[in-house]
Structure 1
Amino acid sequence: MSFQPVVPITGYAGWTFLTRTLDRQETLYAQSPEISRKIQYFKENIGKITTAEALVADRRLLEVALGAFGLDGDIDNRFFIKKVLSDDLTDPKALANRLADKRYLSFSKTFGFNNPAGPATGSAGFADRIAEAFGKKGFEVALGEQDQSLRLALNLTREIGKIADGAVSDDGKWLSVMGSEPLRRVFDKAFNLPQAFAALDLDRQMDTYRAKAARLLGVTQFDQFGSADVQERLIRRFMVHSEIEAGPSGFGPAQAALAILMS
């Protein structure tokens, strides 16, 4: 039987329980037989891989590589992945540069198959870093099978700080959120935005995000999302609105009281 995250309660109360037990649960997930075998194979063999073609040819290695970036759904799109990894990233027309989802760009940069100095696959600590990320992302997937809202919230805590600390403009950071479906889902729910919002002009979307962030969270610069306190306030709003949308079965007295206090 595969590892199952322990989530005894839904909503924001479930989130607080998860954060208290997260380190232990992630460790147990990584140590489960199936996952530990995949990690061990990756660590033993990734250093031998020097081309994108070689990586996509080994499904077991590719599974861990993609999983570390949350891209495991592309495991069968080998030609696409090979191009993402092979294109020259100094070319603005490179596929990874043109894709709205910047996880692909991060994936390509991290492996560095088109780096003149050679790929990163054989460098010290590389296999450990990818294996650790694979374990954390895999735990998120397992968590999502029980509670998708908790998975989205956990993903946000891993990704939003990287964007906040990035060396790009404030506009560029908002665009990174807008280009990530998992992050958008958290922001849109926390800000109570309708599904049709995503169809608006990008400038209007960005203006709305900024206005909502300032009014609801006191955030005037995206860098402030690097703060654990700001992230927690965003997640609290997201979890409460998710409970409201779930209806009576998922929205009990404690959650209702929290929603009233938040308003």
Structure 2
Amino acid sequence: MLNTYTNYQMIAKDMAKAIDRVEDEPTVKRDTEYYLANITKIKSIEDLMKDDRLFRYAMKAHGLADMTYAKAFMVKAMKEGIDDEDSFANKLTDKKYYEFVKTFDFVSFGATTTVRTRAQQGTVDMYLRQTLEENAGKQNEGVRLALYFERKAGGLTNFYQVLADPALSRVVRTALGLPDSFASADIDKQVKLFEEKIDIADFSDPEKLSKFLQRFTSLWELSNPSQGNATSQMNVLFAQPAEYGISTNLLFSIQSMRR
């Protein structure tokens, strides 16, 4: 079995080819064809909720597959939209909900929402990347973490955002050689230590990000040599709280984080 760094590099160096392989998988191909053929028929929030297949596809594309059961939760987020800073989606710590509502913003665009590129090919692209990362995680969760971090890195502006995401924070702790128990330390102290060790701007520099992820994958491999299936562990890292306000103490703390 390839080590974590080599496996990650093989995917990252030719991402387009890796995505093409995912797109050609029979199940993915069928689901994507169905999505593109039917999404423009969706004219309202209610329409989207009625088509489970479309809704599941859209949720997975946004990294919210574990929340497909919570339709009432998603309806509330979508009905309040994103224009009001006090809306439900804007208050949620996990910004994947905001991105979902932004994609399916029926409040702002009404029946034309699903004719936008973001709701069509944009969502398909996200679905393919999400599937690629999940497939990688079935063999080695370190590879999935590296790919996920690479995808999110450019949008990070402070370490409170990192701590709000268990997967991102796991990568940073591992790269810094910190024990998992460090996650229970005071939030501000964690941020201070991260800031002392890493310039957050480095994550927007491809060369520096590459070196960071090389360090992460190398240290990950030391603790998880030739790792096999780790799906259950990844479900814990990528799963989302059932509701806003029902989450870990970490997320409660980060809810008031500085912007």
Normalised TM-score (structure 1): 0.79
Match of 1:148 in 2: 141
Query: Is 2:58–2:123's contact at 8 Å kept on the other side of the alignment?
Result: yes
Q: Which structure is richer in relative contact order (CA contacts within 8 A, separation 6 or more)?
A: 2
The question of 1:228 aligning with 2:206 is answered yes
Q: Deviation string for 1:127-153 (max 9, x for gaps)?
A: 111111101111111111111110110
Aligned residues with identical type, % of pairs: 26
Query: Is 1:149–1:239's contact at 8 Å kept on the other side of the alignment?
Result: yes
Query: Is 1:84–1:108's contact at 8 Å kept on the other side of the alignment?
Result: yes
Task: Say which SS state the counterpart of residue 41 (structure 1) adopts.
Answer: helix
Query: Is 1:102–1:180's contact at 8 Å kept on the other side of the alignment?
Result: no
Query: Is 1:112–1:118's contact at 8 Å kept on the other side of the alignment?
Result: no
The question of 1:24 aligning with 2:17 is answered yes
Match of 1:240 in 2: 218
Long gaps (5+) in structure 1: 1-7, 165-169, 214-218, 251-263
Match of 2:234 in 1: none
CA distance in 2, matches of 1:65, 1:129: 10
Match of 1:204 in 2: 189
CA distance in 2, matches of 1:51, 1:9: 47
User: Number of aligned pairs?
Assistant: 227
Cα gap change, 1:233 to 1:203, in 2 (>3 Å): same
Match of 1:255 in 2: none
CA distance in 1, matches of 2:75, 2:112: 14
Match of 2:164 in 1: 179
CA distance in 2, matches of 1:87, 1:193: 40
Match of 1:79 in 2: 72
Deviation larger for 151-160 or 46-55: 46-55
CA distance in 2, matches of 1:22, 1:80: 34
CA distance in 1, matches of 2:65, 2:152: 17
Q: Deviation string for 1:35-64 (max 9, x for gaps)?
A: 111111111111122322221221110121
Q: Deviation string for 1:147-177 (max 9, x for gaps)?
A: 111011011111111x14xxxxx4xx32222
Long gaps (5+) in structure 2: 228-259
Cα gap change, 1:116 to 1:69, in 2 (>3 Å): closer
- After TM superposition, the structure 1 = structure 2 runs for residues 108-147 of structure 1, keeping only pairs within 5 Å, are 108-115=101-108, 120-124=113-117, 126-147=119-140
Query: Is 2:42–2:111's contact at 8 Å kept on the other side of the alignment?
Result: no
Q: Deviation string for 1:208-243 (max 9, x for gaps)?
A: 111121xxxxx2xx2331111111121112111211
Deviation larger for 75-84 or 91-100: 91-100
Cα gap change, 1:119 to 1:148, in 2 (>3 Å): farther
Task: Say which SS state the counterpart of residue 121 (structure 1) adopts.
Answer: helix
Instruction: Note the C-alpha offset of 1:15.
Output: 2.1
Letter in 1 for 2:220: S
Letter in 2 for 1:209: F
CA distance in 2, matches of 1:94, 1:194: 37
Whose Rg is larger?
A: 1
The question of 1:190 aligning with 2:175 is answered yes
Query: What is the RMSD computed on CA atoms of the aligned residues?
Result: 2.0
